[in-house]
Structure 1
């Protein structure tokens, strides 16, 4: 069932002003972030942070992307925008986080009242307010509060039960029902008081600088996977599939990286994911570059097989980056192959509501350009509780014990961000 967009009372017209600022004053973007509805999209110290809500829409169901995109088109068409910087991420920008499945789950697209951005030596501040109103005044900064007394408990399934689900999936794959399915599990963290999301965000940004640290409407994390970046006619998608845990010993990790690069199980899983992305992007591109072999991406806790797929977009005037994200979602990296069969199996056996985990998260500008990651290595804050998520690609020769160990490694970024922030 399709649900029509239900925006909060939105201004008939938004007034948007972007001005350049001294980049040296924004060396630490997160340090400028107040508690007022914060949003973030950062990598290697650059990107966007914002706060406040100038306008917002929530959508759900199978039309969640289309409804949000239509609303965004209407908002941008009416807006009065003065952009003195003209860089990706300047002018009118919305931050979004979308549900993995048609149901259950809601999706959100938010225009902050204030956005700060930095890209190389260029930095800027954008303010957004309703026509006839005054821009928001300074927002009080409160000290960041670190989570205290954090304890962890099983989510929907305990370890043994989840391994049983993996074994069930392996049997179905071996019977020929499908080629691959991605199964996720959750872990629940409980703190003594409400979690100030700025604390785990700072930890993730400093410890995983090559990932994209994000927060939109309670969902936060540090994703290594760029679903797509569309910028001035070019589109890029980073595909990750195939994982091995790091040991902390550099020599041993190099040997493990070589093992990963030769692993038939992981190469098969990766090939499915790359093929699904290339097939989804092809109708929108006049030319594409799909590398024949992946490289090994080294992260602090794990290593992945990775491939960057690039293309020249021919329909940018009519298809936004958000609609491209819809075309790509869910890729084989988060759903499986064939997609329809895999997602049906997830609904049948996973026994967990993913919400916006593994859905697109990122931002879009008034031209329709933007960056959308996959909400991985993430958690959902609800008061003093955080649900942590991790998923594993299951193929015919997957071993439940190995997949459990991989999921535990994928919990590490957010788990450490809550206990060591």
Structure 2
């Protein structure tokens, strides 16, 4: 139902099972849980969601507005074949959303639903002192892995591979994911702040959004670190002139454009990228738009596009096997699709970047991830420095610095 402007949506997030997908003050939050589907397949999740929706009696005052009826939040593994974790769709009991000045609430209930708004929650408490330590590999060990990948690229075994590393955060107090969401929505307004299950972060990259018969994708590849108070115009010029970064970006754009082609009757793929400025880094970015064929769901498109060259590499099958062999860790949901789908199939699926996963067994711990695209001109020491910049959003969110 339509509601007055609810204010900051993150204030509704309750302790325990809560979900969020927010950007620039708009978005959707979910409270509670009425259903959950665990899987190792985006396609299986799409089938389950279609069946779940078919069994619902759905009434809405805002027909045709994406996200206003029943929806499910989801977080998916980067590579189900090399992960001990499972992907998940979560259907919240209550949804509060706002987009373009229009606000709404949806309640999913097995009995008579009521119109009462969920209660505003007390501000979450920070985790206190936080220590960060190398996890699977030290920075020096990971640098050697990058050097090994560069040699393989120069031998022609692969064109590009995206390698990630992890650090372990240990907090004095339990880590409340709502605290992280609050920090991220304020510091990284141009990113999509996500919280689904135990996966949380602020992603600058939209794998795919579908709404009103259109599909859009924001592709990021090619990065330069942004020191505090740096002249961004000079950094942007350097990034635009970097053949290494332009080559990396070209691979990523091509992979997404090819994936969307079968789902769209027409597409607009810009000839050159623009520079996206974030507080910690600058990225080369390209926004791709396509006119969808009838019946295409956002989850089906996400299944086609994932993993893109931006988070995996080129050729994809070779790069994916190299990642499993070289990184030595389980990425879990890092770099997988994260977002939501509504009853019409529309939705938003970002790539789970600039984030991490809360521990399932220790509420004082979480695992943070950062990765870099490696091509033949990559300098291993520079890639280590880039991961430090990409850890910054979560480090700041944890410490409140």
TM bucket (normalised to shorter chain) is: over 0.9
Pairing 1:22–2:1 present = no
Per the normalisation by structure 2, the TM-score is: 0.96
Pairing 1:369–2:351 present = no
User: How far is the alpha carbon of 1:85 from its aligned partner?
Assistant: 2.0
Residues 124-161 of structure 1: CA distance to partner in whole angstroms, max 9, x if unpaired?
A: 11111124788999568344111112111111000110
Partners of 1:157 and 1:417 in 2: how far apart?
Answer: 23
| Equivalent runs, 1:120-269 vs 2, <5 Å | 120-131=100-111, 141-251=121-231, 253-269=232-248
Pairing 1:95–2:57 present = no
| Equivalent runs, 1:104-119 vs 2, <5 Å | 104=83, 105-119=85-99
Give the CA RMSD over aligned residues: 1.5
User: How far is the alpha carbon of 1:232 from its aligned partner?
Assistant: 1.6
* Contact kept in structure 1, 2:133 and 2:168, CA below 8 Å: yes
Partners of 2:132 and 2:122 in 1: how far apart?
Answer: 27
Partners of 1:195 and 1:295 in 2: how far apart?
Answer: 36
Pairing 1:323–2:305 present = no
Partners of 2:73 and 2:42 in 1: how far apart?
Answer: 13
Partners of 2:96 and 2:150 in 1: how far apart?
Answer: 47
Q: Which moved more, 1:192-201 or 1:276-285?
A: 192-201
* Contact kept in structure 1, 2:12 and 2:118, CA below 8 Å: no
Partners of 1:303 and 1:140 in 2: how far apart?
Answer: 36
| Equivalent runs, 1:243-322 vs 2, <5 Å | 243-251=223-231, 253-314=232-293, 316-317=294-295, 319-322=296-299
Pairing 1:77–2:54 present = yes
Per the normalisation by structure 1, the TM-score is: 0.91
* Contact kept in structure 1, 2:30 and 2:95, CA below 8 Å: yes
Partners of 1:140 and 1:208 in 2: how far apart?
Answer: 23
1:7 corresponds to which residue? none
Q: Residue 343 and residue 136 in structure 1: after superposition, are their counterparts in 2 closer, same or farther (change >3 A)?
A: farther
Match of 1:385 among 361, 365, 370: 365
Partners of 2:235 and 2:99 in 1: how far apart?
Answer: 35
What runs of 5+ residues in structure 1 fail to find an aligned partner? 1-18
